[in-house]
Amino acid sequence: MNKNIKKILIIIVILILMAINLIIFINHFNYKNTEENNLTNQISTIIKHNIATEEETENSRKEMLNEYSEATRMKTYVGQYLSYIDSEKYEDAYNLLYQNFKNTYFKTLVDFENYAKEKYPSEIMVEYTNMNKEGNIYILSVKIQDPTNKEYKTLEQNIVIQENDLNDFVLSFNVE
């Protein structure tokens, strides 16, 4: 009988240890899921914040552009384009181009990037020499120079901007 009691006690101890292990596993699993849910919620919050920030930035940019004269708005658009070139954000600059213009002169981003690297200086300084308007089309004549390289030949371009709405525009230019 003593042996039977020992066996029963051993079985009870084993069952208790199994129950403890099961409880630890369940708690660990729930904690891990809670951590993952918290991380997912944090990422979701960051994404929502970034979207809200982009919308706020877009709205504040539109408000700023609304205060500008037409000439200043067009110079701002050209400045944005040339800033992308200057900082080697060729895809952003490419996305500003008029679709038919891209289809004709720069079928791919690589074509445009090669052109930009060849024609534009490494540091860009722009001088606006003239502006004409025909409907919602603006033609700006510009001289692009490299202030750090006196040997760079000035690039003269006519940049054509079609403004559809504030901060909604496409552009093209004379390709040499």
Domain locations in the chain as residue ranges: 1-67, 69-173
Contact of 127 with 145, CB cutoff 8 Å: yes
Asked if the model's pLDDT at residue 42 lies above 90, the reply is no
Say how far apart CA 61 and CA 83 lie, in whole Å: 16
Count of C-beta atoms within a 10 Å radius of residue 157? 19
Enter the DSSP assignment of 122: S
Selection from 88, 65, 73 nearest residue 171 by Cα: 73
User: At the top level of CATH, which class does the domain 69-173 belong to?
Assistant: alpha beta
Tens digit of pLDDT for each residue in 86-95?
999 999 999 9
Enter the DSSP assignment of 98: -
Entry pTM: 0.67
Tens digit of pLDDT for each residue in 110-160?
999 999 999 999 888 888 999 999 988 999 999 999 888 888 888 999 999
